[in-house]
Structure 1
């Protein structure tokens, strides 16, 4: 068997393990409804696909791409930030193309952390943060997110000895998995804290354009002096239904971006140019899809929240993202409950502990499947919980991380 000791000791990626169980059940004939991964069910808009074909017909676009990203894409991202957030960006030094936000986050961590340094981020959190830190031979310090603290980290509970070794903080608002949101005041406090301790801050902003009602997600770059210390990572995946296209960006502090550019220049050669140019077109063309899509997610989430509360799973309506963060019934762990739904109801949700220990007691449920399938999933959950007896729950003793 081949492979480094470090890779051999990495636990399976959460969604790889979920997909393995999903595929096994489907092969056995189960009509499975996947409310796990937040992969939009609607297609990429036709005008974006048509633009991709146009760009693919240009032979010049078949050459090696620049690691910086093509000029058209970087300018489009800068224009988007000016329109949406009134933030000015230099496309040459303050914008960098990514092969999706996950790639950018995974490479940002070793770009800034040396072995023994600390990453500060939250618990629960997107699983790539701690895993990329481990692979960089660095350390991870979790800042708990709880309902009591409105799912916002308390920066002042970080031990002094860890602060002195911290070289990056990753925030994630609108938040995955909790769907928590913040205002610019929160980012002002974060930036002030980062400056005081000389810790760069990256906000993972994958869901910045999916919001409901009067809420509009702010950018960390709107905070006072943010570009002195902060960057933001974004993606077109959720906004334009382009998850498989793998195109994202990082914007903000030019030194942080410069470090990532060096790392990427030695590990990849950038995203396929036609994808970048089609992404630029998406950012600069008709934006009516965004409001239409947010309205659809809002309607689905309201339906989910109402039903989940009715069946004994306390759930708050989020202001943004495509997820609900739902409390599970008493008597289960998060993994036990998710396993029971999967096996007995054919409904896949993600146990909260997949995102960290402070996710215990919750499951993350996605709204990115057709409405009728969500209704069917909720019906199955309601019927299962109605008939379930507490003494049957012992059958679901699932080892965490397995």
Structure 2
């Protein structure tokens, strides 16, 4: 019996798994690995959210099946968030559905709207589910540059005109994982106008809406007039409130698309555990100073990373948003490619990063660095990287270290 099932055959080897295996082996040997690989928030969930979970879980009634689309109070809280943050009015009954994280919500939406052979336009590089959610649902992917300048609209127009069959949906992700690019409202206005003209569905991943720096607030595509006719947006509490393992996200926007997603979800799950939904409601409705504090931690880590690794000899552009830095491989290592360079960093410097090739072919030449280690650990990583860079420089120039007679005697 063959194990090559149809959907599995369409999935390439998991690039990150190679680095993960090396990382696990190093830790098994007792080595200390400074791990910037997975975007897994390490900060504690704010106490008032945890307390609401504990309070609610003590009620035996909450052990029952929950609501697949999300309890009413949670959907109302998400509507209130969109109103105060973006000035966007949403109907909690018809325009909002809670999901088991934005990743799962995105995959469920792909199932809901994708037919065999449907062409989906996806940025490259991008977060893998943006592509593989549709591939697993039978779709065909056409890539666009992960950009916000004129090259994006030019590429979009070319893809629509030359794709057969005509594309059905367009994926956007700003602030972007992995590139950290941020889009403005003018960009979204162009996209919405184009999507309406060419009857494209727009799926916007806004998971990093609240992780921004330098007072540049990422907008929602739903702020654009007419966007509700074509767009659905996905958000998550994972990064905003340091709740990654709680798996709570949302899809909001176009009623027809939300209805389709709700119907698919009704066959797949009963929604998140009710106490988690109640605690998520408390997060959205409660004091928001915790969001500012979490954002400040990421900003401090960003500044430490860019400064300390920059002084070590590796220039890393400062990301304006997200919990990631998108770093070009140092010139002297560029020939290796992102996967081999990631392996080298792990083996020689004890530093784990994500190879850019794992986010798409146009991610080659870069690595993604997650802001998930504290500043002390980040400075240690910089020292390790500096040592690796110096050793490489010496090797390239055939510099032989000067050793003492005692060392020779040994």
Could you tell me the TM-score, scaled by structure 1's length? 0.92
Matching of residue 354 in structure 1 with residue 358 in structure 2: yes
The answer to whether the 8 Å contact 1:203/1:220 transfers is yes
Q: Which residue of 2 aligns with 1:143?
A: 144
Matching of residue 276 in structure 1 with residue 280 in structure 2: no
Give distance in 1, aligned partners of 2:154 and 2:376.
Answer: 37
The answer to whether the 8 Å contact 1:151/1:180 transfers is no
Pick which of 31-40 and 21-30 moved more: 21-30
Q: Which residue of 2 aligns with 1:308?
A: 309
Give distance in 1, aligned partners of 2:270 and 2:356.
Answer: 36
Give distance in 2, aligned partners of 1:185 and 1:178.
Answer: 20
Superposed CA offset, 1:199-238 (max 9, x none): 1111111110011122111111111211111111000000
Q: Which residue of 1 aligns with 2:104?
A: 103
State the SS of the aligned residue for 1:88.
coil
Q: Which residue of 2 aligns with 1:379?
A: 383
Q: Which residue of 1 aligns with 2:401?
A: none
Alignment of 1:51-90 (within 5 A): 51-90=52-91
1:146 deviates by 5.9
Give distance in 2, aligned partners of 1:271 and 1:20.
Answer: 31
State the SS of the aligned residue for 1:97.
strand
Structure-2 change in CA distance of 1:42 and 1:151 (3 Å): farther
State the SS of the aligned residue for 1:266.
helix
Superposed CA offset, 1:330-384 (max 9, x none): 2331112111101111100011111011111111111111221111111111111
The answer to whether the 8 Å contact 1:350/1:363 transfers is yes
The answer to whether the 8 Å contact 1:352/1:359 transfers is yes
1:311 deviates by 4.0
Extract unaligned runs of 5+ from structure 1: 393-402
State the SS of the aligned residue for 2:168.
strand
Q: Which residue of 2 aligns with 1:398?
A: none
Superposed CA offset, 1:13-36 (max 9, x none): 455554333222111221101101
Q: Which residue of 2 aligns with 1:208?
A: 209
The answer to whether the 8 Å contact 1:14/1:127 transfers is no
Give distance in 1, aligned partners of 2:336 and 2:18.
Answer: 20
The answer to whether the 8 Å contact 2:178/2:326 transfers is yes
Q: Which residue of 1 aligns with 2:407?
A: none
Q: Which residue of 1 aligns with 2:121?
A: 120
Superposed CA offset, 1:3-50 (max 9, x none): 623325523445555433322211122110110111111111111111
Structure-2 change in CA distance of 1:175 and 1:151 (3 Å): farther
Q: Which residue of 2 aligns with 1:363?
A: 367
Quote the RMSD (CA, aligned, Å).
2.1
Which is higher, the Rg of structure 1 or of structure 2?
2
Alignment of 1:383-394 (within 5 A): 383-389=387-393
Could you tell me the TM-score, scaled by structure 2's length? 0.90
Matching of residue 343 in structure 1 with residue 344 in structure 2: no
Give distance in 2, aligned partners of 1:354 and 1:383.
Answer: 26
Pick which of 188-197 and 6-15 moved more: 6-15
Aligned length: 392
Give distance in 2, aligned partners of 1:374 and 1:342.
Answer: 14
Give distance in 1, aligned partners of 2:199 and 2:37.
Answer: 37
Extract unaligned runs of 5+ from structure 2: 397-410
The answer to whether the 8 Å contact 1:48/1:278 transfers is yes
Q: Which residue of 2 aligns with 1:225?
A: 226
Superposed CA offset, 1:308-339 (max 9, x none): 33444332212111111111122331112111
